[in-house]
Amino acid sequence: MPRILDQRILLLVISFLATLQSTKVLSKWKKCGDLECEKAMSRVQAITDYLGPDCRYLNFKAGEEIIVYSKLSRENENLWTGSKGKDFGYFPRDAVKVEEILIGEEVEVLTKETDFLCLHEDKYTFE
């Protein structure tokens, strides 16, 4: 019986740590095309396949087109956010090449907690 209890506690700890990781704020700042981050910033093409570590990330195959809406800045400049069809999420900027810039100037704004939540079937999933 103690061994089963130890295994359950271990699973609970692993589950808790996974939850913390998936709701982690990735940056306090981001750059956008406007103050609401609604304007598309650029059109990019994937140069490699990418499979993100959790539901906040955008998965894609080489050659697919992605529309970029924001770029994390300051402490984490490697991640951009964008959409591919109905899918939306973070991806590494070095996995894409810029095909077309759609804005003249970037605006830096604070991120919100909701920027780092999973979006599934048109509703937020709170981890």
Q: pLDDT tens digits for 11-63?
A: 444 444 444 344 578 899 999 999 999 999 999 999 999 999 999 999 999 99
Q: Which helix (H) or strand (E) holds 32?
A: strand 29-32
Tell me if 50 is assigned to some domain: yes
pLDDT attached to residue 9: 58
Q: How many structural domains is the chain composed of?
A: 1
Tell me if 126 is assigned to some domain: no
Check which CATH number belongs to the domain holding 75 and give it: 2.30.30.40
Tell me if 23 is assigned to some domain: no
Tell me if 70 is assigned to some domain: yes
Tell me if 38 is assigned to some domain: yes
What does pTM read for this prediction?
0.75
Report the C-alpha gap between 86 and 36 in whole angstroms.
Answer: 20
pLDDT attached to residue 17: 41
Tell me if 17 is assigned to some domain: no
The range of the structural domain enclosing residue 83 comes to 32-104
**69-126 residue pLDDT tens:** 999 999 889 999 999 999 999 999 999 999 999 999 999 999 988 888 875 544 444 4
Mean pLDDT of 3-13: 53
Tell me if 55 is assigned to some domain: yes
